[in-house]
Amino acid sequence: MSGHIPVPERVKFDSENLIQSMDDWQRIHAHSIAEPDDFWLNITRKSIVWDIEPSIGLEGGFDTIEQESFKWFSDGRLNATVSCVDQHLKNRPDKVAILWEGDEPGVVRRITYRQLHAQVCRFSNALQSRGVTSGDRVIIYMGMVPEAAIAMLACARIGAIHSVVFGGFSAESVADRIIDSGSKVVITMDEGKRAGRTIPLKKTTDEAIAIAGGIDTVIVYQHTANPVEWNDERDLWWHEIIENESGEHEAVIVEAEHPLFILYTSGSTGKPKGQVHSHGGYITYTAFTHRTVFDLREDDVFACVADVGWITGHSYIVYGPLANGATTFMFESTPLYPDAGRYWDMVERHGFTIFYTAPTAIRALAAKGDDYVHKYDRSSLRVLGTVGEPINPEAWEWYHRVVGEEKCTIVDTWWQTETGGICISPIAPATPVIGGSATLPLPGIQPELYNAEGELLKGKAEGLLCLSQSWPGQTRTIYGDHDRYLQTYFSTIKNRYFTGDGCRRDEHGYYWITGRVDDVINVSGHRMGTAEFEAILVESEMIAEAGVVGFPHDIKGQGVRAFLVLAKEVSDEESLYLSLNQLCRNRIGAHAKIDRFCIIPALPKTRSGKVMRRILRKVAEGEPEKMGDISTLADPDVVEAIIDSNCHYV
C-alpha cells in the first residue's frame, strides 16, 4: 500500500502473534465479527483461568440494549486476579512481575510473581480481617508505587470493587467519588513523590473524608515516612495490618459479570461517571489486546508510563500485562525529571522492549531536542505505542525517526475508559502504518461512521465514530445510573455505541480519529468536561455566565479557554483569573487549569436561550469562518464581540 510504512524486520522476527500478517488480520477480523461468540470463547478459554469455563459468549446486545443489558461469558465463574497472579506461580515464579522506578533515577524495586502473589494474598487477608467483603466499594487514592497495584489486585481478589482516584485529584473530587461509590474504606499513602516534590495524599484524604463522611477505615501505606495526622479510630498502617497475615489466600470466585472496578471519567455533562468493568470480559479483552497489539514475547520488558489512576494504567500496567505474565514497569516520576533524558536513560538501564506513552509527552520531549535521546542506547526497543489523543505528524515522525531510529513500529492505539482496552490500532508485526492514523479495528471491533442526520456512511467518509457490536471489554453501566449510560452512549445513533469522537476513513479503510465532537476536552491526555469548569466558574459572584471550550495547544494537545460574562465590573483582572484557577484546582485537581480567559458581553444564545457552543468552539479553534449558520442567534452582533474579545493568557 502506497504511503504506508512497512513493519520493520526487528518487529516481525520471531513473532508468535495470532495475527502476523494482513492476511491473518483479514481472516481473523472477519471471523470475529461474524462469529463473536466462537472467537471470544476460544480466546478466553485459552488465556484466562476460569473456575467454571463459560459456554456462553455474548448474551443480549446493542439491538436489545434498552430492554436488557448485555453480558459476556455469563455462565462462567472466575476471579481475574487468578490469571494475573496465581497462574504464573507454576511457569514463571521468579520472573519479575513489577519493575518499579521511583522518583529519583536508579531507585528501583523488582517484585517477582512469587512475591507479588504473597503480597497480594497478605493484603487480601488483611482487608478481609477488617470486614471488607465481596461487592464492597473501596477507594484507592495513591501515587505510583507497586502497592497501588497490590491494593487493586487484593480488592479484586476478595470480590470488592476498587475505584482508583488519580493522585492529582483534589479533596472535593475524592469526596465526590467516595459519595457516589458508597465506599467505606480508603487505601492511601502518607505522601506521593513527583519530580522532587511531595504530594500530601493522606492529608487530602482526611479533607475528603471531612467533606464526604461515610468512611470507617483508612489504610495508609508508608512511603516517604514524613509525619502525618493520625486518627486512631479510623487509620491503620499498611505495614502493621499485614504483619500477621498469611501469604496464602484463596481468591473469591465470582460470576463473570461481577464488577471488577469502577473508574470515574468525565463526560460532556454533569459529574464524572463511574464506569463499571467486569471480571470476565475485562480481563479477557485487556490480556488479548495487550499481547496482540504490542506483540508480547516472554522476555519483553513492557513499559507503559501512564498513571494507574487512569484507564491506561489499569489495563496496560496492571491487568493486561500481569494476566499475560509479562514484566510490567511502574514509574513514579515524570518525563522531564531530572531532565528530558529520563525515559531514554531508563530504556538503556532496564532494557525496555516496548514503550507506551502519550503524544503530549512526545511533543514536550521533542521540543527539548534530540541530544537527550541520542545520549542513551535504545537498541532494546521494538514497539513504540501512543495513546490518549490524536498524534500530530511532526510528533509521530520524531518518535519514529529519533526515538525508534526507524527500526521500531509505532502503534497509535485508539480506545477509551469505556472500551476497557484498545479498539483501533495497528497490530505490531502485521499492520503497515501511516503516521497519524490509528489504522484498523482489532478483532471483535466493528467501527461505523454516521453523519449528523444519523445516516450510515460507506467507504471513504468522515463522521461520528460508532461501534456496531459489543466486545468483552466494554463498560456495562454507569455506577448507580444505568439510564445515563443508555442516554450517553446509545441514544445518539439508535442501537449503536457512540464514542463521542469524530473520525475519517480513508481509501485504504484506515481510521483517523479527529477528536471529540462533544464537550469533552483532552488536556495532556487528561479528560475533562467543559461543563465541570463552567459550573465552578459561575459559583464566583463576579461571573454571570461562562462558556468553556478547548483550543489547539502545541504541547498539551488542547488548552482550556473560558469565555466569561461578568456580573460586576472587575478592577483587577489578573487576580480574578488567579482566584478562578485556584477554585478549579480545589474543586477538580491540579490538572484542571484554564489557560486563557476572555471577557465577552454575552454568550451566543438562540432565541430560546440555548447556548450555541459551536460558535465559541470555532472561535477558540481559530476558525471563526467555519462557525456555520448564525441566523438563529438572538443577537447576531455578539459574534463580532466574541471574535474581537480581549483575551488574557495565564
Q: Pairing mode, if any, of strands 327-331 and 301-304?
A: parallel
388 binds ligand WT7 per the rule CB under 6 A: yes
Site string for ligand WT7, 420-459 (x = CB under 6 A): ------------------x---------------------
Q: Which of 500, 529, 550, 589 binds ligand WT7 (CB under 6 A)?
A: 500
What's the Cα-to-Cα distance from 191 to each of 104, 144, 426, rounded to whole Å? 15, 11, 39
Q: Which cell numbers in the block locate residue 325?
A: 505474565
**Count of alpha carbons within 13 angstroms of residue 184, beta-carbon side:** 9
**Segment interacting with ligand WT7 (CB under 6 A) among 106-114, 133-141, 487-495, 510-518:** 510-518
Fill in the per-residue mask, 454 to 493: x = in contact with ligand WT7 (CB under 6 A), - = not in contact. ----------------------------------------
Buried b (16+ CB within 10 A) or exposed e, 390-414: bbbeebbebbbebbbeeebbbbbbb
User: Quick one: 170 or 416, whose CB is closer to ligand WT7?
Assistant: 416
Using rule CB under 6 A, residue 387 touches ligand WT7: yes
Write the interaction track for ligand WT7 spanning residues 338-377; mark x where CB under 6 A is met and - where it is not. Answer: ----------------------------------------
Nearer to ligand WT7, 128 or 417 (CB): 417
Least separation in angstroms between CB 14 and ligand WT7: 27
Q: Is 523 in the site for ligand WT7 (CB under 6 A)?
A: no
What are 119's strand-pairing partners? none
Q: Which is nearer to ligand WT7, 83 or 416 (CB)?
A: 416
For ligand WT7, the binding residue among 141, 415, 471, 533 (CB under 6 A) is: 415
CA dist 486 and 511 (Å) reads: 26
**Is position 416 an interface residue for ligand WT7 (rule: CB under 6 A)?**
yes
Distance CA 213, CA 175 (A): 8
- Determine which helix (DSSP H) or strand (DSSP E) holds 398, and give its type and residue range: helix 393-398
- Please state the closest distance from residue 414 (CB atom) to ligand WT7, in A: 4
Task: Answer for the pair 442, 423: CB distance below 8 angstroms, yes or no.
Answer: yes
CB of 526 to ligand WT7, least distance (A): 7
- The residue (of 140 and 564) whose beta carbon lies closer to ligand WT7 is 140
Least Å from the CB of residue 276 to ligand WT7: 14
Residue pair 151/190 in contact (Cβ under 8 Å)? The answer is no
501 binds ligand WT7 (CB under 6 A): yes
Specify burial of residue 602 (Cβ count, 10 A radius: 0-12, 13-18, 19+).
Answer: middle
Is residue 265 a contact residue for ligand WT7 (CB under 6 A)? Answer: yes
Stretch that binds ligand WT7, among 25-33, 103-111, 346-354, 509-517 (CB under 6 A): 509-517
Shortest Å, Cβ 513 to ligand WT7:
4
Amino acid at 409: T
Q: Is 385 in the site for ligand WT7 (CB under 6 A)?
A: no
Q: Is 389 in the site for ligand WT7 (CB under 6 A)?
A: yes
CB-CB neighbours of 610 under 10 Å? 11
Residue 513 sits in the site that holds ligand WT7 (CB under 6 A): yes
Residue 413 binds to ligand WT7 (criterion: CB under 6 A): yes
H, E, C per residue of 193-221: EECCEEECHHHHHHHHHHHHCCCCEEEEE
User: Does residue 205 interact with ligand WT7 by CB under 6 A?
Assistant: no
d(C-alpha 382, C-alpha 386), whole Å: 14
Q: Which is nearer to ligand WT7, 170 or 286 (CB)?
A: 286
CA distance 579 to 371: 40
Q: Which residues share a beta bridge with 162?
A: 138, 261
For residue 274, which of 67, 481, 549, 114 has the smallest C-alpha distance?
A: 481
Q: Least Å distance between CB 134 and ligand WT7?
A: 27
Please pick, from the candidates 119, 353, 469, 522, the single residue that binds ligand WT7 as defined by CB under 6 A.
522
Neighbouring CB atoms inside 10 A of 643's CB total 14
Instruction: Give the C-alpha separation, 140 to 152, whole Å.
Output: 8
Rounded to 5°, angle at Cα 155 from 151 and 157? 115
| Distance of closest approach, residue 537 Cβ to ligand WT7, in angstroms | 22
Which amino acid, 525?
G
- Kindly state whether residue 290 participates in binding ligand WT7, applying the rule CB under 6 A: no
Any idea which residue has 512469587 for its cell?
Answer: 114
How many residues bind ligand WT7 (CB under 6 A)? The answer is 22
Instruction: For residue 341, give the C-alpha cell.
Output: 533524558
Q: Which of 43, 139, 311, 619 binds ligand WT7 (CB under 6 A)?
A: 311
The single residue listed with the C-alpha cell 501512543 is: 386
What whole-number distance in Å separates Cα of residue 503 and Cα of residue 440? 12
| Contacting range for ligand WT7; rule: CB under 6 A; set: 9-17, 63-71, 156-164, 413-421 | 413-421
Interface contacts to ligand WT7, rule CB under 6 A: 265, 311-312, 387-390, 412-417, 438, 499-501, 513, 515-516, 522, 527
